Amino acid sequence: MTHPPLGDMLATLRGTTPLVHCITNYVAMNSTANLLLATGASPAMLHAPEEVAEFTAIAGALSINIGTISTPWAESMQLAARTANATGTPWVLDPVAVGATAFRQQVCTALLAYRPSVIRANASEVMALAGLASQGRGVDATASTDEAQQAAIDLARQQRCIVAMTGETDFVTDGTLHYRLTGGHPLMPRVTTLGCGVSALVAAFVAANQAHPLPATLAALACFSIAGSRAGEQASGPGSFQVALLDALYALTPNDLSSLSQLEALDAV
Amino acid sequence: MTHPPLGDMLATLRGTTPLVHCITNYVAMNSTANLLLATGASPAMLHAPEEVAEFTAIAGALSINIGTISTPWAESMQLAARTANATGTPWVLDPVAVGATAFRQQVCTALLAYRPSVIRANASEVMALAGLASQGRGVDATASTDEAQQAAIDLARQQRCIVAMTGETDFVTDGTLHYRLTGGHPLMPRVTTLGCGVSALVAAFVAANQAHPLPATLAALACFSIAGSRAGEQASGPGSFQVALLDALYALTPNDLSSLSQLEALDAV
Amino acid sequence: MTHPPLGDMLATLRGTTPLVHCITNYVAMNSTANLLLATGASPAMLHAPEEVAEFTAIAGALSINIGTISTPWAESMQLAARTANATGTPWVLDPVAVGATAFRQQVCTALLAYRPSVIRANASEVMALAGLASQGRGVDATASTDEAQQAAIDLARQQRCIVAMTGETDFVTDGTLHYRLTGGHPLMPRVTTLGCGVSALVAAFVAANQAHPLPATLAALACFSIAGSRAGEQASGPGSFQVALLDALYALTPNDLSSLSQLEALDAV
């Protein structure tokens, strides 16, 4: 690997507690804030058009998630994304269920114009964004990760951004370098909005490590993967899993990430 | 009992993971999604007028809860309910605190025109909907279940739907057949939005068992009742109860429901 | 101390289960409702302009938190605060991140005209409200409690209200009497919206003890402080802390508050 150790990314995050401006869906707000706090970042949720640009300008990163989108919120998201683009603030797009309705496709098309630093999505969403045929059925992934890797690479090249495609196996690409990450736990899809949370965590890591967006993204996913595995060992169901996940993120050390064995750099796909 | 075993209802739900379109209140969104995921259904929360009808048409069921209602949301709820009515998609109405303000009564009157498949409510709400005098004091039930059973039957007959009236004892009726269900745990009213969650769970069970809406409704309530009892045995307060409830819903088996002894079919009320 | 024992405040709350009308941010809604229920109050979240005044008039207290404010919500907050002011209903203002944007300052200025009974805020927010220079950076407190005590006293005198300034050490003043309260746990800032929750808890205690707003406010903070300390002893991270905090609030007894040793009445500041 040509990048700095992933553990350094976490150490920098812990040392700087980056302020992450989250404009996310109603379902995910509380859990996303708690995931950021447990890991060591500082979340702020606000969306009013009167203040959203002012706040994005002082945040370390912006995280936009379209889960419970409406026209007023879409307008605020555009204001925030435009500001991030203008000020060079890194920002992450989570295009929830973009394939499910025409409205979501319009909202995402408008947001992509402001050039997200990272797109964090599941396989169906990546395929929908890349313009490929996808049988999206809402918020769940139905395309396999393997089928979607080429779509992720195409999307990264089209948008000149990082694509972090998560699922049973995660696939991360900037269009040139590709990584595969395994881990996590089968209980993760049984807890709501963990994907939304990891998008915000990517924003936090990129905020804290602006010179290294690709390893920062990998570090965010690796945190979730390792903490998820550990939480799964302790949990007896999705309720106790959620609790254990927050505790595990809090307990993670930079060394846990640097000794990670489930990360694989791919030569070609 | 003349209906299929309740355990079959859960087996079908687990086998089909029905997509439940939830338009619910801000307080309940996260916990409702987690209750559905733990039990085995797939939640989706979205409400924009631009997409709400499009999505209801592809969902297995719709669940509408008016807890934090406002005029824009009420309009979206009507669009969704109208779609459900037109496409034959089962839908559940949870008329939170309908007796508390004139606005809630107007919203519910408009929604009832689209003929919900099931109304899930507490005794005060049932009495308010049935047009009976009720001293509703907001979101809590103050009328006793016994006083309200006749109101539930009247409402079921007026609306030609199932009424699932929950409380210390649950009462379920389609206007002709009546059931009483005991169980649960005294900690349940100390956790917010469990009633909202059971409404969405009813929608999930009815989605998965469209030919059997009455036993599907009973199965949803029985899941909550059994899981609640088990969670209560493990909990030392409302915090640990919430966690244990999700784990217990996840661990429930069809056999747990079929051997249920707390369900009583009533000849007359 | 010249006031009734703090334990009496909790006993009255438990005996009357006051109805608290909460108009709060999306992040805090669920956790605030659960904190109120665990302690023994009855939360209701609603905000539509069509019903908000009607509901405030029947509530025991109103709690307003501007975390995820927007213009429509600010208008509803003003309707509710105006009603509370007109009917003599106690109400609490939580001016989240008021120093961060001009919009928040405008919203708070409008709300202060309706004379909150209690302002619950962190040190940065108190200093911003009091018109002092403060380096607020969003939702976190960056000014030390010691620097901000004079601002709290000034604010209490300007607004003729109680100011409950929370942080590592809490400081409570009505402009004449001042109290300092220690306790809590270092994990508390790692869980989102606990400050929002304590604001609503203050509203609940003041609703139940309207003749004694100052000791009622102290009792609310003391509950959080004691329950937080106990939860911290059991927790292994922010996930298990949240669970243990709800259980600890539920298990608190009036005697726990009356034997409190961390409360200190201050002669002068």
Cα atoms found within 13 Å of the Cα of residue C142, Cβ hemisphere only = 13
Q: Which of B73, B22, A48 is nearest to C25 (CA)?
A: A48
The reply to whether residue A250 touches residue C190, judged by beta carbons under 8 angstroms, is yes
**C-beta atoms of B46 and A30 within 8 A:** no
Residue C45 forms contact with B (CB below 8 Å): yes
Nearest to C188 by CA among C128, C137, C248: C248
CB atoms B34 and A103 under 8 Å: no
A240–B248: do the CB atoms touch at under 8 Å?
A: no
Rounded Cα–Cα distance for residues A74 and C262 (Å): 48
Calpha distance C239→B204 (Å, rounded): 29
- The reply to whether B192 touches chain C by the CB within 8 Å rule is yes
| Cβ–Cβ gap A68/B46 under 8 Å | yes
Q: What is the pLDDT of residue A149?
A: 94
| Nearest CB neighbour to B238, from listed C26, C58, C247 | C247
Indicate the residue type of B69: I
Q: Is C211 exposed, middle or buried (0-12, 13-18, 19+ CB in 10 A)?
A: exposed
Which ipTM value was assigned to this complex? 0.93
Question: If phi over 0 gives left and psi between -120 and 50 gives alpha, with beta otherwise, what is residue C97?
Answer: left
Q: For residue A25, what pLDDT is reported?
A: 98
- In angstroms, what separates the C-alpha of A5 from chain B's closest C-alpha? 35
Q: Which domains does chain C have, with CATH numbers?
A: 6-266 (3.40.1190.20)
Q: Which residue in B207, B141, B214 sits closest to B179, CA to CA?
A: B214
Q: % helix / strand / coil in chain B, to the nearest 5?
A: 50, 15, 35
d(CA B135, nearest CA chain C) in Å: 12
Q: What is the pLDDT of residue C147?
A: 75
Note down pLDDT in tens along chain B; length 269 residues. Answer: 467 899 999 999 999 999 999 999 999 999 999 999 999 999 999 999 999 999 999 999 999 999 999 999 999 999 999 999 999 999 999 999 999 999 999 999 999 999 999 999 999 999 999 985 444 444 445 556 667 899 999 999 999 999 999 998 999 999 999 999 998 999 999 999 999 999 999 999 999 999 999 999 999 999 999 999 999 999 999 999 999 999 999 999 999 998 777 777 765 44
Tens-digit pLDDT profile for residues C184-204 = 999 999 999 999 999 999 999
Against chain A, the chains showing at least 3 CB pairs within 8 Å are B, C
- In whole angstroms, how far apart are CA C205 and each of A6, A160, C122? 48, 55, 19
Query: Pick from A33, A50, A242: which is nearest to C192 by CB?
Result: A33
From the candidates B17, B32, B34, which should be mutated to test the interface with A, based on the most A CB atoms within 10 A?
B34
Question: Which residues, other chains included, contact C90 with Cβ-Cβ below 8 Å and sequence gap of 6+?
Answer: C61, C62, C84, C117, C118, C203, C206, C207, C210, C213
Instruction: Find, in chain A, the residue whose alpha carbon is nearest to that of B29.
Output: A27
pLDDT score of C230: 96
Show which of residues 231-250 on chain C sit within 8 Å of chain B, judged by CB atoms: 242-250
Which of A27, A192, A240 comes nearest B247 by C-beta?
A: A240
Closest residue on chain C to A20 (Cα): C138
* A20 in reach of chain C (CB within 8 A): no
Task: Give, for all 269 residues of chain A, the pLDDT tens digit.
Answer: 467 899 999 999 999 999 999 999 999 999 999 999 999 999 999 999 999 999 999 999 999 999 999 999 999 999 999 999 999 999 999 999 999 999 999 999 999 999 999 999 999 999 999 985 444 444 445 556 667 899 999 999 999 999 999 998 999 999 999 999 998 999 999 999 999 999 999 999 999 999 999 999 999 999 999 999 999 999 999 999 999 999 999 999 999 998 777 777 765 44
Report the residue from B30, B42, B55 with minimal CB separation from A101: B55
Which residues are CB-contacts of B39 (< 8 A; sequence separation ≥ 6)?
A: B10, B13, B201, B204, B223, B249, B250, B252
Distance (Å, whole) CA C161 – CA B61? 50
Check if the beta carbon of residue C93 is closer than 8 Å to that of residue C112: yes
Stated pTM of the model: 0.94
From chain C, pick out residues whose CB is under 8 angstroms from the CB of A19: 137-138
For A99, which residue in chain B has the nearest alpha carbon? B55
